[in-house]
Amino acid sequence: MNEQERELLLGCANGLGISLPADQLHLLSIYLDELWQWNEKVNLTGLSSMHRIIRELLVDSLLPSPFLPERGRLLDIGSGAGFPGIPLKIHKSGLEVHLIEANSRKASFLRHVIRTTKLTGIEVIRGRVERAGKDLHPDGYHIITARALSPLPQCLSLCAPFLCSGGLIVTFQGSRFEKVLRESSDVIKAHGLSLHNSFPYTLPGIDTRRQLLIFKKQE
């Protein structure tokens, strides 16, 4: 990541109220550099511009951080190239993170990034969450993230069984989130969930409205 890209990341993050100390910026830079190199051989993101990766993936991934606890267990389902699990781990180092990814090449990339950045308290689980079984924490997770995993009703049904009492499910929605929420009302009720936080935002340079929806499981 060059100086211009660093300035872009810092500017985007600051614009959304997210502070990035030098040590975190260094780790995010390593992560993005490795992602860029791998992306030339393996299609990890579908994006061919570092600026787009920073704006549309990295900054978007950091957005939930102010709403999350400093410690606890986080499960990132369908982690792909590591969004949002790796940026959140870097920004909230006290979290114990499990990244679950079915694609073998993407899982290999995630393990490579963890080795390269020397992150601790983070593990890759190769497979699908429905079949992960013994590889998942037996006591569940305090936070579950799911970015572009599936429509909201299916996403909540998939995540809720692995969530601790009082835990949070973080989802990233588009401008039609109100319709999606109505369509999910039965699922939300069935799993003992409630809408804990709803945060509207737009990413720098992108006009499309987005919505961060955070659900909480009843205690």
- Does position 56 have pLDDT exceeding 80, yes or no? yes
Identify the residue whose tokens are 């804990």.
196
In the sheet where 95-101 sits, what is the strand order?
122-126, 95-101, 72-77, 141-146, 163-173, 210-217, 193-201
- CB of 43 closer than 8 Å to CB of 194: no
**pLDDT value of residue 41:** 86
Residue 53 CB contacts under 8 Å (≥ 6 apart), including other chains: 32, 35, 36, 45, 47
Provide the number of structural domains found in the chain.
1
* Residue 59, pLDDT above cutoff 90: yes
Q: What's the rounded mean pLDDT across residues 62-83?
A: 96
Which pLDDT belongs to residue 15? Answer: 86
CATH of the domain at 117: 3.40.50.150
pLDDT at 42: 86
Mean pLDDT of the chain: 93
Q: What is the pLDDT of residues 88-130, one digit of tens each?
A: 999 999 999 999 999 999 999 999 999 999 999 999 999 998 8
Question: Which domain range does residue 52 map to?
Answer: 3-217
Proportion of the chain above pLDDT 70, given as a percent = 100
